[in-house]
Amino acid sequence: MAEKRKLPVRTKDPAPAAKKTSGNLGTSKTSKSKDSKKKSSEDSVSAAEKRAVKRENDAKKKAGKKYLEGAANLSVQAQALRQALNVEFASARDNNLADISQTLNQSLAALRSDADARARQFLTAASDTEKATGDVAERGISNAFRERQDALAGILEQGAGETDAMRAMLMSARNWQANAAESNRAYFDTINTVNSSINDLNIDTRTAMAGQWAGAESARDEVWQTFYNNRGQAFTQLGNVLGQQADFYAQAKEMGVKPPKGAEKDAEDAMKKAFKDSAVEAGKGYTQQGTPESITGYTGQELVKARQSNTDLAAAMVFEPVAKAEGATLRKWAS
């Protein structure tokens, strides 16, 4: 039997492997393309996030700068309040107090001037009364001499004696004394009236001056109270402004903008001090002054002293009926 021949075994064609390899390379390229797209997408997202973050940071920075600008504006307000506290309020107070003092001095001067004018009128009345009384006294003496002469002439013509002549002279003297006494009483009554008016004038003037002083003190009290109230309110406003300024500095820091070094702490410390000063001002008040010695010790016009030349003489002279002369026949004398 014939032997069968074995056919040669064929090896696998490497081409498919090559094709397979070629197929892997295509897949790698696709993967790289996807990775590239993914990376590009990630880069795009990252850039967008960065841009968003940048925009946010820029917005915060801008807001922080606005807070700093607001804090700077508050510094201007705080400076204006300090100007009012240090200068304006005190200036207004001093002007008002000066006006009160000027008005008071003018009122006191007017009261003294009016009192002096009225006192001169009283002194003139007293002087005129004294002159009139002296004139009456002088004319009374003249009348006494005239009456004595007339009486002597009449009784001597009728042959009267010495006693009758003496009594006639005494009658004229008594008339003179009565007239002098009446004139003196009128004089002293007038002087008493003048002195009473002067005394009332002095008391009224002193009382009016004390009233003017009390009114001025009340006005001063009101001025000082207004001054303290204004300062208390200004310190409160200053504390509020400084507190808001400290908040602005803090918010600026949160926004990533640094304020000047120590600005926030300085604002907080100044705020605390302003509120403390406001409390101190609220407890202040004006102590009214008592009436000065220049008013309480006001004496005004001195009283008039009653002095006239015939006063002592008229008071000392007393005419009594004389005893009957010896050896004379006299008529009955009616005393």
Q: What percent of the chain shows pLDDT beyond 90?
A: 45
Confidence band (pLDDT; 50, 70, 90) for 25?
A: very low
Q: Which domain holds residue 259?
A: 45-127+193-316
Structurally, the chain folds into a number of domains equal to 1
In which residue are the tokens 């197929």 written? 23
**247 in a domain, yes or no?**
yes
Q: pLDDT category, 314, cuts 50, 70, 90?
A: very low
**What's the pTM value of the predicted model, to 2 decimals?**
0.65
Contacts of 317 (CB under 8 A, 6+ apart): 177
Degrees to nearest 5, angle at CA 139 with 138 and 144? 100
278 occurs within a structural domain? yes
- Per-residue pLDDT band for 5 (boundaries 50, 70, 90) equals very low
Whether residue 291 lies inside any domain: the answer is yes
Is residue 80's pLDDT more than 80? yes
Is residue 233 one of the residues assigned to a domain?
A: yes
DSSP letter at 9 equals P
> What pLDDT shows up at residue 155?
59
Length of the chain, in residues: 335
On the question of pLDDT at 241 being above 60, the answer is yes
- In the block, tokens 């309040």 appear at 81
- How far is the first Cα of the chain from the last one, in angstroms, to the nearest whole number? 231
Contact status, residue 238 vs residue 274, Cβ threshold 8 Å: yes
User: 18 in a domain, yes or no?
Assistant: no
- The confidence score (pLDDT) of residue 31 equals 60
Which range among 3-12, 159-168, 195-204 has the greatest average pLDDT?
195-204
**What would the pLDDT profile of 196-208 be if each residue is shown by its tens digit?**
999 999 999 999 9
In a domain, 240, yes or no: yes
CB 233 within 8 A of CB 318: no
Rounded Cα gap, residues 260 and 177, in angstroms: 108
| Structure confidence at residue 27 as a pLDDT band (50, 70, 90) | low
Q: Which of 205, 182, 184 is nearest to 108 (CA)?
A: 205
Residue type, 152: L
- The vertex-172 CA angle with 171 and 176, nearest 5°, equals 115
pLDDT score at 9? 46
Tokens of 13: 């064609």
Residue 303 lies in a domain: yes
> What is the distance, to the nearest Å, from the Cα of residue 1 to the centroid of all Cα atoms in its chain?
156
Summary mean pLDDT of the chain = 78
Contacts of 190 (CB under 8 A, 6+ apart): 125, 126, 129
Q: Considering the domain boundaries, does residue 335 fall inside one?
A: no
* pLDDT, average across residues 108-116: 95
Q: Give phi and psi for 46, each to the nearest 5.
A: -65, -40
pLDDT of 318 > 90? The answer is no
**Token output for 196:** 């009473």
Average pLDDT, integer, range 68-84: 92
DSSP notation for 213-278: HHHHHHHHHHHHHHHHHHHHHHHHHHHHHHHHHHHHHHHHHHTT-PPSTTHHHHHHHHHHHHHHHH
Q: What is the mean pLDDT of residues 158-178?
A: 62
What burial class does residue 328 get, using C-beta atoms within 10 Å of its C-beta: 0-12 exposed, 13-18 middle, 19+ buried? exposed
Give the pLDDT band of residue 280 (cuts 50, 70, 90).
very high
